[in-house]
Amino acid sequence: MADIEQPLLDIIKEHAVGLTQPPTRDTPIADLGIDSFSIVEIIYEVEEKLGVEVPFNANENPFGDMSSVGDLIDALDSLIKSKD
């Protein structure tokens, strides 16, 4: 896995609302309190800080079948590997 886990956790932490503990791989996405504007900001930061283009359609659920932060990390890792 590319070394994206901690940077992604840091980005999510900046935008999460109401978390009492830092996010981990096991943190449910529903617990992050992220609104649609924050999703756009997170995607922008991921692209800028991690150097990967994230496909995004505002009319679709950006999380798809993902339920945890670990699912997001794994999806981003797969996206990076597919670009290599």
Whole-prediction pTM: 0.82
CA distances from 2 to 10, 54, 58, 64, 80 (A): 15, 15, 27, 22, 8
Whether the CB-CB separation of 46 and 76 falls below 8 Å is answered with: yes
pLDDT grade for 1, boundaries at 50, 70 and 90: very low
Q: For 58-83, how does the pLDDT look when each residue is reduced to its tens digit (9 = 90+)?
A: 667 666 778 999 998 898 888 888 87
Per-domain residue ranges of the chain: 5-83
Q: What is the C-alpha separation between 9 and 49, in angstroms, rounded?
A: 12
Q: What is the C-alpha separation between 32 and 68, in angstroms, rounded?
A: 10
Q: For 3-12, how does the pLDDT look when each residue is reduced to its tens digit (9 = 90+)?
A: 889 999 999 9
5-83 domain in CATH 3.30.70.260? no
